[in-house]
Amino acid sequence: MPRISGVDIPDNKPIRISLRYLYGVGPANAQLILKEAKIDGQVRANKLTEDQLAQLATIIDSNYVVEGTLRRSVAQNIARLRDVRSYRGERHRRGLPVRGQRTKTNARTRKGKRKTVAGKKGVKAMK
């Protein structure tokens, strides 16, 4: 398996797909990287020469923030929002949706599994 920026990328897939295994490289960035390196996106990763792999690694390292650096940057941004106690920071802290989505229904991805509350429906009082 070829390694780019310290990450193993699958060698049996086209390089335009394999590059997406890097955190921070999506379809658009993969196309731009390949265009800059003048490599066809349909070529399988295992068919690339060492020079081409080195060229891809150089382009990614010099022009893009990927992997650990990007993860650290995102974590620091979220920590800053929490520290200044902004609305978004509070939503992150509570594990609720951050970007204005409704929470009365849906939002299960952020809120987690349902927690049933006993006695929520009105219990009739005995006379």
pLDDT in tens, 23-43: 999 999 999 999 999 999 899
Q: Is residue 104 part of a domain?
A: no
Q: Is residue 107 part of a domain?
A: no
Question: Over 90: is that where the pLDDT of 83 sits?
Answer: yes
* 70 and 20 co-located in one domain: no
Domains identified in the chain, total number: 2
Own/partner contacts of 66-73, CB < 8 Å, gap of 24 or more, are 66/5, 66/22, 66/23, 66/24, 66/25, 67/5, 67/6, 67/7, 67/22, 67/23, 67/24, 68/6, 70/23, 70/24, 71/23
* 7 and 40 co-located in one domain: yes
Question: Over 90: is that where the pLDDT of 126 sits?
Answer: no
Helix (H) or strand (E) holding 77: helix 67-83
Q: Is residue 87 part of a domain?
A: yes
Which pTM value belongs to this model?
0.75
pLDDT for 43-79, tens place per residue? 998 888 889 989 999 999 999 998 889 999 999 999 9
Lowest mean per-residue pLDDT among 7-11, 31-35, 81-85, 89-93: 7-11
Q: Is residue 112 part of a domain?
A: no
Q: Is residue 91 part of a domain?
A: yes
- Residue 53 belongs to domain spanning: 3-64
* 29 and 74 co-located in one domain: no
* 58 and 70 co-located in one domain: no
